[in-house]
Structure 1
């Protein structure tokens, strides 16, 4: 510490702060309060510790609220866990999980070779005195000559000149589809013919006379409107257009009914 004139000034002494003791509840904090709804997982009884007991039950699988299963805040008896390295086959054999054979051996499936370790080093400096060039030359000289494969004669095949089976199958499939389509169209035509019925001559003549009478009435009303050169209102103009549409429709209907045979559909 460096020398300074300020060090001669006496420092004020501050009294130490009084440390108040923390409040400690008489109720144990490991047990849920009476009727608590925190940390519940059951929908049947959505509260815990209904009896309000502060004493942990002696039974390990007995809840203070009387429901089935373990309580979330209840202290359970310690369980002895296994440590790494003691999982031997003898322990599982005593439990009955596995059964040993007579020769106390276990059969394993073929596995891949182990991965080399980091400190493994390959053996260097290995040499072979084998002359691979001379060995290959001798093998080629002593080998039997290969037979020249001649090109096959395709005309001697059993299926030469015949239609392939897949083409025959496709042809039969198309023919079957064609017959089914013709049969379906024939049924539709028969149903349509059964629905058609020829109109009687007297009824047809009665309809013709009724259409002609209606045509004459509309034509008379239409001729009364044709002398107007100027159509002053929209209603008069629209009425004239409606007369023209109805007269054209009646002419088409009369032309259809003037044929020799008229059929109607049910």
Structure 2
């Protein structure tokens, strides 16, 4: 008995006893040394004649399209070079994909909703136009306030030597400057809008 056959039957090499291993050897795909190939099968087919007939009657092979980049003749396949316009011959060439049209519709819908919300917000917070009578009365009130502040400014003493007097003078000057600015703005603009708050 050969060593291989002993291993297949489960004998160990050391003691000759059969091992009860849970692991079995995988089936060998290599033929055994004792196996012989099948002999004696012959075919009556004439391969030379059939090959000659197939070559004569068959269609000639089309050569692969190539391109040459130098005079020495380095050849490359034309299909993988990018010189053949194979993508523009597809049926769906130039057609916008569905996901892009869907995204465009979603963005248009979102833009319309945003514009509608802004218009609604502006209507809610619409500005009120000041009438001519209100504008005149506002202008008269500002001029009257300016005259009162100017009267208080002229009542100040000529010599301002203490800190509270200086602070009071600066306060009156700021008030007069602000009132002059407001009067100038209202006189300059004929139409005035007031925001609703």
TM-score, normalised to structure 1, is: 0.39
Paired residue for 2:173? 244
Paired residue for 2:98? 165
Paired residue for 2:122? 189
Q: CA deviation at 1:255?
A: 2.2
Task: Label 1:166 to 1:241 Cα distance change in 2 as closer, same or farther (>3 A).
Answer: same
State how far apart, in whole Å, the 2-side matches of 1:204 and 1:123 are: 107
Q: CA deviation at 1:177?
A: 1.6
2:133 equivalent among 202, 209, 230: 202
Aligned pairs, how many? Answer: 126
Paired residue for 2:182? 253
Cα deviation code 1:5-62 (max 9, x no counterpart): xxxxxxxxxxxxxxxxxxxxxxxxxxxxxxxxxxxxxxxxxxxxxxxxxxxxxxxxxx
Structure 2: runs of 5+ lacking an equivalent: 1-19, 38-63, 65-78, 80-85
State how far apart, in whole Å, the 2-side matches of 1:252 and 1:226 are: 26
Task: Label 1:154 to 1:252 Cα distance change in 2 as closer, same or farther (>3 A).
Answer: same
Higher helix content, 1 or 2: 2
State how far apart, in whole Å, the 1-side matches of 2:130 and 2:92 are: 65
TM-score, normalised to structure 2, is: 0.50
Cα deviation code 1:47-98 (max 9, x no counterpart): xxxxxxxxxxxxxxxxxxxxxxxxxxxxxxxxxxxxxxxxxxxxxxxxxxxx
Q: CA deviation at 1:218?
A: 1.2
Q: CA deviation at 1:239?
A: 0.5
Task: Label 1:249 to 1:226 Cα distance change in 2 as closer, same or farther (>3 A).
Answer: farther
Q: Which moved more, 1:240-249 or 1:218-227?
A: 218-227
